[in-house]
Amino acid sequence: MTEIIINGTEDLSRAAKTFLERKGKSSIIAFYGSMGAGKTTFITALCRELGVDDIVNSPTFTIANEYRTIDGTPVYHFDFYRINRLSEAMDIGLYEYFDSGNLCLIEWPEMIEELLPEETLKVKIEVVDEDTRKLTFHI
In contact, 68 and 51? CB cutoff 8 Å:
no
Residue 60: per-residue pLDDT = 78
What pTM was estimated for this model as a whole? 0.95
Whether 116 shows a pLDDT value over 90: the answer reads yes
In contact, 39 and 33? CB cutoff 8 Å:
yes
Share of the chain above pLDDT 70, in %: 100
Domains and CATH numbers, the chain: 24-123 (3.40.50.300)
Residue 40: per-residue pLDDT = 96
Torsion sign over Cα 7, 21, 75, 100: negative
Number of Cβ atoms within 10 Å of the Cβ of 21: 9
In contact, 115 and 129? CB cutoff 8 Å:
no
